[in-house]
Structure 1
Amino acid sequence: MPGKPICPSGSKNLKAPDSVFPAEAIARSRILVVGDVMIDRYWFGDVHRISPEAPVPVVHVSRSEDRLGGAANVARNIAALGAQVTLAGLVGRDETAGVVARLAEAEGIAHALVAADAPTTVKMRVLGRQQQLLRVDFEAMPDAAAVAGLTARVLPLIAGHDVVVLSDYAKGALGQVQALIAAAREAGKLALVDPKGDDYDRYRGASLVSPNRSEMLDAVGRWRDEGDLLGRAQALRSRLDIEALLVTRSEQGMTLFTDAGRDHVDAQAHEVFDVSGAGDTVLATLAVCRAAGLDWHAAMQWANRAAGIVVGKLGTSIITPEELQP
């Protein structure tokens, strides 16, 4: 059961990273986000009775809200942290595509959205008294022509950005992710990946891959202890030629694996209210910190701090530089 939200001043009680948050350098950075774009739609209401038709609550909806989700939420977080960001992804030929474009423009996000025959992905959540009661997904996999069209649209954009972020929600937009990683590497740009599934060969050559605990289990199998995890993580890194592997581990914090070995930070959340979009915030914070010149260790510390704040908010949310300040 979710806990109470963290109070607005909760960030003051979190451990400060060793480095200074590089706000000025972040403002000069340019980040390209490519991946599965979606809308997170929320219907809020109250529950006063159970339906006579079935044993389910009746929600009297009082308001609704659309938020950028998936790769678009990564871009939203990057913009909120002060960087210049371009969002590339697939949308449908539908009304929701217009919602994505309007919200992106309102958040200061430049976009290169490619229309596909598949509908724009929507995750609709019904909440009663701030408690999620139901989620309904509207989605379909894009065809190969749409994926190829997105790749062709993105490749010329890479040279004009400092960091490329690849947000994979397994909705199909990153069907040619290997070509994007190769192009980023050839251009000398960092490529940061939020992965899905157990086929990590498709992320070969990325600068960083950041699975959560469950995704890491899919990739390397169940580990016995921290030493076993270290061996499996470094073997995966070596096999795929990945510079850094960051495993986000919920209440256990984050563990970074590089040529230097293992680096770990403990979780900082006081109480968890909603973990939706927390991985997006982590990826966004890593991207802006690396674009601003911080190393992997410092970027992880700031990402961990951001995660500790965002899980105290309802739904897919953003973090601002003011909230991150010690």
Structure 2
Amino acid sequence: MLDRYWFGNVDRISPEAPVPVVHVQRTEERLGGAANVACNIAGLGARASLICVIGHDEPGDRLVELLAQSNVQAFAERDTSISTIIKLRVIARQQQLLRADFEESPTKEILLAGLARFDSLLADASVVLLSDYAKGGLTHVSSMIAKARARGKHVLIDPKGSDWDRYSGASLITPNRAELREVIGSWSSEDVLAQRVTQLRSSLKIDALLLTRSEEGMTLFTDANPIHVPAAARDVFDVSGAGDTVIGTVAAMLGAGLSLTNAVVHANSAAGIVVGKVGTAPIAYEELFPR
């Protein structure tokens, strides 16, 4: 996805409708979706290869340029029948006023080409990260997980929707509170939460679940006792892309040989940094590990 930002000032209300008029003074383009995840990984000094589906259009060309600038090795399947996904955000006084999405579903032929590309790159990867945005790009996610686990790879999932059966067999899944609630229902206590997560992990054969809890930090559920990591105390401007930073940081740390627990601690710190920025913005090594 290509994230486009229009920054401006609001000084009056439109005479045509009771809505603010934004005088746009600056525009920016940033990597969004799985591209932002890959950008976070590369920003931490790891090698990131991205398989993605984009259109044969100007936004697609711009995505490829931004990925190259971010040191992400892009393997883009270009689909002539669709337009590249764009999320346009209008921002004034560091507040998002409007988001407009432009998107279409990719063709089956392009998805099969992406699966073949996945097969060709798998041997060289230490960690496989599958970011699901329910846009059609992960139609073959179950096959990808099975192939990666058969080769002994870490498989990390950023989930979407309530059907998690397709994620069965993954190493780690990283839902936020709303996403987890959609699958296991509401919980009345931490004990009930832990019990339901244990049942979920068992039924899906998932090694671990990392619940991101916004201002409450995050909790890691494994076969051992849950580990809670409090949120870093700082001003929050925008949570856009925070989940991308979390899973990207965990992937980079696991690839570097750290334990899952240590990877989660670093991911929590990284999330605390990026929510202090406006819009989707990746973490840099120097921010997470200042000298």
TM range (shorter): over 0.9
Matches within 5 A, 1:6-45: 38-45=1-8
Aligned equivalent of 1:163? 127
Aligned equivalent of 1:32? none
Instruction: Report the residue type matching 1:101 in the other structure.
Output: V
The alpha carbon displacement at 1:307 in A equals: 0.7
1:109 corresponds to which of 57, 65, 72: 72
**Stretches of 4+ aligned residues off by more than 4 angstroms:** none
Aligned equivalent of 1:68? 31
Matches within 5 A, 1:281-320: 281-320=245-284
Deviations 1:214-243 (A, max 9, x none): 000011111111000001101111111111
Matches of 1:313 and 1:106, distance apart in 2 = 20
Aligned equivalent of 1:223? 187
The answer on whether the counterparts of 2:94 and 2:237 sit within 8 Å (CA) in structure 1 is: no
Aligned equivalent of 1:323? 287
The alpha carbon displacement at 1:41 in A equals: 0.3
The answer on whether the counterparts of 1:207 and 1:243 sit within 8 Å (CA) in structure 2 is: yes
Matches of 1:320 and 1:144, distance apart in 2 = 36
Matches of 1:128 and 1:245, distance apart in 2 = 36
Matches within 5 A, 1:209-220: 209-220=173-184
Aligned equivalent of 1:86? 49
The answer on whether the counterparts of 1:123 and 1:136 sit within 8 Å (CA) in structure 2 is: yes
The alpha carbon displacement at 1:46 in A equals: 1.2
Matches of 2:31 and 2:22, distance apart in 1 = 24
The alpha carbon displacement at 1:118 in A equals: 2.0
Deviations 1:32-83 (A, max 9, x none): xxxxxx0110011111211111111111111211000000000011111111
Give aligned-pair identity as a percent. Answer: 55
The answer to whether structure 1 residue 236 and structure 2 residue 236 are counterparts is no
The answer on whether the counterparts of 2:240 and 2:275 sit within 8 Å (CA) in structure 1 is: yes
Matches of 2:92 and 2:206, distance apart in 1 = 43
Return 5+ residue gaps in structure 2 as ranges: none
Return 5+ residue gaps in structure 1 as ranges: 1-37
The answer to whether structure 1 residue 52 and structure 2 residue 15 are counterparts is yes
The answer on whether the counterparts of 2:254 and 2:260 sit within 8 Å (CA) in structure 1 is: yes
Matches of 1:224 and 1:109, distance apart in 2 = 42
2:137 corresponds to which of 173, 181, 184: 173
Matches of 1:182 and 1:252, distance apart in 2 = 33
The alpha carbon displacement at 1:269 in A equals: 3.4
The answer to whether structure 1 residue 183 and structure 2 residue 183 are counterparts is no
The answer on whether the counterparts of 2:89 and 2:99 sit within 8 Å (CA) in structure 1 is: yes
Deviations 1:265-293 (A, max 9, x none): 11113221100000000011100111111
Aligned equivalent of 1:143? 107
The answer on whether the counterparts of 1:269 and 1:307 sit within 8 Å (CA) in structure 2 is: no
